[in-house]
Structure 1
Amino acid sequence: MNIPDLNTIIYQQPYPLLFATISGSHLYGFPSPDSDYDLRGVHILPVREVVGLNTGEETIELSQINESLEIDLVTHDVKKLFLLLLKKNGYVLEQLYSPLILKSTPEYEELKIIANGCVTRYHCYHYFGFAATQWKLFEKEQPRRVKPLLYVYRVLLTGIYLMQTGIVEANLVKLNEVFNLSYIPDLIAAKLTNVEKSVLPDADFSFYQQEYNRLREQLEVASQASTLPEAPSGKAALDDLLIRLRVRSYDS
Structure 2
Amino acid sequence: MTVDLGPDLDTDLTSVVAEQRDPLLFATVSGAHLYGFPSRDSDVDMRGVHLLPVTDLVGLREPEETRSRMWFRDGVEMDLVTHDLRKFVRLMLRNNGYVLEQLLSPLVVHTTDTHAELVALAPDVLTSNHAHHYRGFANTQWRLFEKNGELKPLLYTFRVLLTGIHLMRSGVVVAHLPTLIGEVDAPAYLPDLVAAKAEAEHGGADVGHARVAADVERLHAVLDEAQAASVLPGSHTAYDALHDLVVRVRLQGLNGLQG
TM-score past 0.5 threshold: yes
1:159-202 superposed Cα distances (whole Å, 9 cap, x missing partner): 0011111111000011111125311110101011x12111123x
Distance 2:17 2:98 in 1: 20
Which residue number corresponds to residue 130 of structure 2? 123
Q: Please give the residue correspondences for 1:58-77 in structure 2 after superposition, counting only pairs within 5 Å.
A: 58-77=65-84
Distance 1:7 1:163 in 2: 36
Which residue number corresponds to residue 194 of structure 2? 188
What SS class does the counterpart of residue 129 from structure 2 fall into?
Answer: helix
1:237 aligns with 2:241: yes
Consecutive unaligned residues of structure 1, counting only runs of 5 or more, are none
Q: Please give the residue correspondences for 1:87-236 in structure 2 after superposition, counting only pairs within 5 Å.
A: 87-141=94-148, 144-179=149-184, 181=186, 182-192=188-198, 194-201=199-206, 203-236=207-240
Distance 2:185 2:232 in 1: 24
Percent identity over paired residues: 46
Shift of 1:244: 1.0
Distance 1:77 1:117 in 2: 21
Distance 1:155 1:10 in 2: 29
Structure 1 stretch displaced more, 73-82 or 107-116: 107-116
Letter in 2 for 1:134: Q
The alignment yields a C-alpha RMSD, in angstroms, of 1.2
Distance 1:199 1:244 in 2: 49
Moved over 6 A (4+): none
Which residue number corresponds to residue 11 of structure 2? 3
Contact 2:166 2:184 in 1 (8 A): no
Shift of 1:7: 2.5
Shift of 1:76: 0.1
What SS class does the counterpart of residue 33 from structure 2 fall into?
Answer: helix
Distance 1:75 1:26 in 2: 18
Distance 2:51 2:245 in 1: 12
What SS class does the counterpart of residue 72 from structure 2 fall into?
Answer: strand
Distance 2:14 2:201 in 1: 24
Letter in 2 for 1:167: V
Distance 1:13 1:162 in 2: 34
What SS class does the counterpart of residue 3 from structure 1 fall into?
Answer: strand
Consecutive unaligned residues of structure 2, counting only runs of 5 or more, are 1-8
Letter in 2 for 1:159: G
Name the TM-score, length of structure 2 as normaliser.
0.92
Distance 1:231 1:200 in 2: 38
